[in-house]
Chains A and B, each alone.
Chain A
Amino acid sequence: MSANQSNNAPCVGIIANPVSARDIRRIIANASNLQTSERVNIVLRVLTTLAATGVGRVLMMPDKGGISSMLLRSVKRERNIHFDFPELEFVDMPVTSTVDDTFHAARSMQKAGVSAIVVLGGDGTHRAVVRELIHGTRDGAPAVPIAGLSTGTNNAFPEMREPTVAALAVGLYSTGKLSASKALAPNKVLEITIDGGRRRDIAIVDTVITSDRFIGARALWKTDSLGAAYLTFADPQVIGLSAIGGLLQPVGRTEKGGLAVYLSDDPARCRLRLRAPIAPGMVCDLGIASWEAMPAGKAFPVALAAGAVALDGERELTFDVGEQVCVTLREDAFLTVDVASCMHAAAREGLFRHLSSNN
């Protein structure tokens, strides 16, 4: 039973990645750097907003990257002044300062019955949370919904939005003022299997195949090594590798199916050249061989014999000759708090109206 359905006080989880937006794209593309203190400010705004909607408890991922320690100092200071905060508790877990922390925290929060998890990070952080939530869900039960706040680099998945508004939407859902059917939206994922499923992973926006056979600095910015891009959605208004599909054949976030794009600089295969913003401030020309729709459930075998798989913008897995990589789109894979729907419903239903004391 989820916390919002129980009689207990609603509890919301917060996972704030202290190391998102720290990679090489700061150097090569002047990508933004959201400082730790600003991430703490975002969490503080989420906390005060959740309190205003009636959320009494928040469970937070601990870290050694500065967010937890600075947050505790700030909460103490703010409580001295005037702000009302929910009860703040950190997940009891070892901190490794790796992505394992995100996995562990997401797992613990799901087990603790939080109603939703607010995620501060980029596409990579959101992928890690979703991967763990899907993995930890049994018997087809829906995973805990997430609400994304963009603090990463490319951010195709989390929308740019003031955290206060996102927290209001989470609060409305968590306190039961809005039902799941009104507050939540389904999302697609890409399932990646290597060597017949011996290794598995997921992506929530893009899976890109590169001929580089190493992880290196993780980010992808050299276009000559790109072989194919598989996309859950392709929005012409986002940046990152999914922009390639977005500018070829847009696919909506909630639309059925995805898109596969095959890249090649070989004049014999290259059908057109496309100029796309593959990273913040970085507009590159790419050779496009072809593209096709990706219906849900159909496995797309990767043509490249050896290389690396980039998941949501970062090289994550390498594969050698003889290890076949397959990519499959799945629909209705996980839920997000649909902030726009929530706020429109709240306005329509007058959820923020209070009776005047004169009435």
Chain B
Amino acid sequence: MADKNSFPLSREALLKCYRTMRTIREFEERLHIDFSRGDIPGFVHLYAGEEATAAAIMSHLGDGDRIASTHRGHGHCIAKGVDVVSMMKEIYGRKGGSCNGKGGSMHIADLSKGMMGANGILGAGAPLACGAALAAKFRGKGEVAISFVGDGGSNQGTFLESLNLAAVWNLPVIFVVENNGYAEATSRDYGTAVDSFVDRAAGFGLPGVTVDGTDFFGVYEATGEIVKRAREGGGPSLLECKMVRFYGHFEGDAQTYRAPGELDDIRANHDCLKIFSAQVTSAGVITAAELSAIDREVLDLIETAVKQAKAAPMPTLADLTTDVYINY
């Protein structure tokens, strides 16, 4: 057993981050099963395989920091602290869900946690994050905003306009490009003229960094510096996280665009949870038994969430006209 913890997080923080990642994983694995059974209405896009990025980034944020998510938003929601049971109810389309069951997977939001919403429109989160960052700048409390976008979504005009806006207004906003290699089924190499997202940021005068999104500590360290810079008035920047997704673009995607053996290789060699577990246990900071205990608790939580979601009532016809406008 090592004499001390030389990781940049305390033991408690490491365990919390592992719990976050494991919760995302089990949440998505359960949805994969329940969706295929026809239990869930609408579309779901699973974050399984990408957990380290969400957990590492969000571990630097507080409730006052805001994020704008994507169509693949469950991981961002869980890592930002949105209640798992209310998320499950929302995805099942039930009352008591994050949006009372009227939004579904791609509209989960919880402003009390700084989660401005998943978003079914690609690239739409970037201008929203700029708005939140502008508000944060005026409030002057050192809060930041983070926009997540996929490698495909980064080709949207909204994203590029936001890079420009963030640069000219020196906003405390961070653009995270979650590069899992595919825009739906289109390879990044085919669909993006300038292949480096860091180059894209440089085109607008923003610094950018590329990290291995499957390595929790790589994302954690880079985000720490980027968020610190933004909080202190250093302005916007871009973080490209290279990552892998375990499932298709959406549930039901046959993934014919994948190379033979690609998924097996991803699960065997690029599983961010396995990588994290090996790092913390081999260093003697966390024991395998401690991780297993968390695994069991998370499975219980997900089971509870599904049971409560299934037992919750559906929205009524009268609910259709509520929550449409907000009263100030």
* Real binding pair: yes
Nearest first, the 4 closest Cβ-Cβ pairs linking A and B are A66-B195, A217-B221, A22-B210, A213-B6
Query: Considering the chains assembled together, what is the distance between the CA atoms of A24 and B217 in angstroms?
Result: 13
Q: Is B120 an interface residue (CB 8 A)?
A: no
A270 contacts chain B at the CB level, 8 A cutoff = no
A321 close to chain B: CB less than 8 A:
yes
- Given known A23-B210, A28-B225, A36-B194, contact A320–B2 (CB-CB < 8 A): yes
Q: Which residues of B contact A211 (CB under 8 A)?
A: 6
- The A281-315 residues at the B interface (CB cut-off 8 A) are 305-307
Bitwise interface map of A from 211 to 222 toward B, beta carbon under 8 Å scored 1, else 0: 111111110000
Q: Write the nearest CB–CB distance from A123 to chain B, whole angstroms.
A: 17
Q: Tell me the bound Cα distance from A66 to B6 in angstroms.
A: 37
- In-complex Cβ contact of A216 among B188, B199, B221 (8 A): B221
Is residue A137 within 8 Å, beta carbon to beta carbon, of the partner chain? no
The reply to whether the CB of B294 lies closer than 8 angstroms to some CB of chain A is no
B122 within 8 A of A: no
Note all chain A residues with C-beta closer than 8 A to B199: 33, 35-37, 66
B-chain residues with CB within 8 Å of residue A24 when the two chains form the complex: 209, 211, 221-222, 225
Interface string of A8-52 (1 = CB under 8 A from B): 000000000011001110111010010111000000000000000
> Could you jot down 24 A-B contacts, CB within 8 Å?
A19-B196, A22-B196, A22-B209, A22-B240, A24-B209, A24-B211, A26-B208, A26-B209, A27-B209, A27-B225, A36-B196, A36-B199, A64-B195, A65-B195, A65-B196, A70-B195, A211-B6, A213-B283, A214-B8, A214-B279, A216-B8, A216-B220, A320-B283, A321-B2
B196-A18 in contact (CB<8A):
yes
Q: Please determine whether A26 and B198 come into contact, CB atoms closer than 8 angstroms.
A: yes
Task: Please tell me if A69 contacts chain B, counting CB pairs below 8 Å.
Answer: yes
Which residues of chain A come closer than 8 Å to B229, judged between CB atoms? 27-28
At the interface, yes or no: A97 with Cβ under 8 Å from chain B?
yes
User: Bound state CA distance, A268 and B195, in angstroms?
Assistant: 51
B81: min CB distance to chain A, Å: 24
Contacts of A321 in B (CB 8 A): 2-3
Contact with A along B50-86 (1 / 0, CB 8 A): 0000000000000000000000000000000000000
List residues of B whose CB falls within 8 A of some A CB.
Answer: 2-3, 6-8, 188-189, 194-196, 198-199, 202-203, 207-211, 215, 217-218, 220-222, 225-226, 229, 237, 240, 242, 279, 282-284
Instruction: Give B259's nearest chain A residue, CB to CB.
Output: A94
Interface pair A36/B209, CB less than 8 Å apart: no
Asked if B221 and A320 sit within 8 Å, CB to CB, the answer is no
A227 smallest CB distance to B (angstroms): 12
- Asked if B221 and A35 make an inter-chain contact with CB atoms under 8 angstroms apart, the answer reads no
Residues of B within 8 A of A19 (CB): 196, 210
**Beta-carbon contact of A27 and B6 below 8 Å:** no
Q: A22-B208, A24-B225 are in contact. Are A307 and B6 (CB under 8 A)?
A: yes
Known: A22-B196, A26-B198, A214-B8. 11 other contacts (CB 8 A): A19-B196, A22-B208, A24-B211, A26-B208, A27-B237, A36-B199, A66-B196, A215-B215, A217-B221, A320-B282, A321-B2
Q: Which of A30, A216, A306 contacts B217 (CB 8 A)?
A: A216
User: Nearest Cβ distance between residue B38 and chain A, in whole angstroms?
Assistant: 38
Docked CA distance A160–B215 (Å)? 32
User: Cβ of A318: which chain B residues have Cβ within 8 Å of it?
Assistant: 283
- Distance (Å) between the CB of B229 and the closest chain A CB? 6
Q: Chain B residue with minimal CB distance to A97?
A: B242
Say yes or no: A66-B209 contact (C-beta < 8 A), given A27-B222, A215-B218, A306-B6: no
Chain A residues, Cβ within 8 Å of B196: 18-19, 22, 35-36, 65-66
Report yes or no: B222 in contact with A217, Cβ–Cβ below 8 A. Answer: yes
**Is A69 a contact partner of B189 (Cβ separation < 8 A)?**
yes
Query: Across the two chains, which residue of chain A brings its CB closest to B190?
Result: A69
Q: Check B222 against A66 for contact (C-beta < 8 Å).
A: no
Q: Are A69 and B195 in contact (CB under 8 A)?
A: yes
Complex interface: chain B residues within 8 A of A97 (CB):
242
Alpha-carbon separation in the docked complex, A97 to B244 (Å): 13
- Bound state CA distance, A26 and B222, in angstroms? 10
Q: Which residues on the B side are within 8 Å of A64 (C-beta)? A: 188-189, 195
Cα-based distance from A344 to B217 in the complex (angstroms) = 48
CA distance A92 to B242 in the complex (A): 24
Give chain B nearest CB distance to A77 CB in angstroms. Answer: 14
Establish whether residues A27 and B218, one from each chain, have CB atoms under 8 Å apart when the complex forms. no
Bound CA span A263–B315, Å: 66
Complex alpha-carbon distance, A23 and B225, angstroms: 12
Residues of B near A70 (CB, < 8 A) are 195
Give Cα distance in the complex from A216 to B219, angstroms: 7
Which residues of the other chain, A, contact B208 by a CB distance below 8 angstroms? 22, 26, 33
Minimum CB–CB distance for A191 against chain B, Å: 24
Q: Which residues of A sit under 8 angstroms from B283, Cβ to Cβ? A: 213-214, 306, 318, 320
Q: Which residues of A contact B225 (CB under 8 A)?
A: 24, 27-28, 217
- In the complex, the answer to whether A213 meets B220 with C-beta atoms within 8 Å is no
B207 near A37: Cβ-Cβ < 8 Å: no
Q: Cβ of A37 and Cβ of B194 under 8 Å apart?
A: yes
Q: Which residues of A contact B209 (CB under 8 A)?
A: 22-24, 26-27, 217
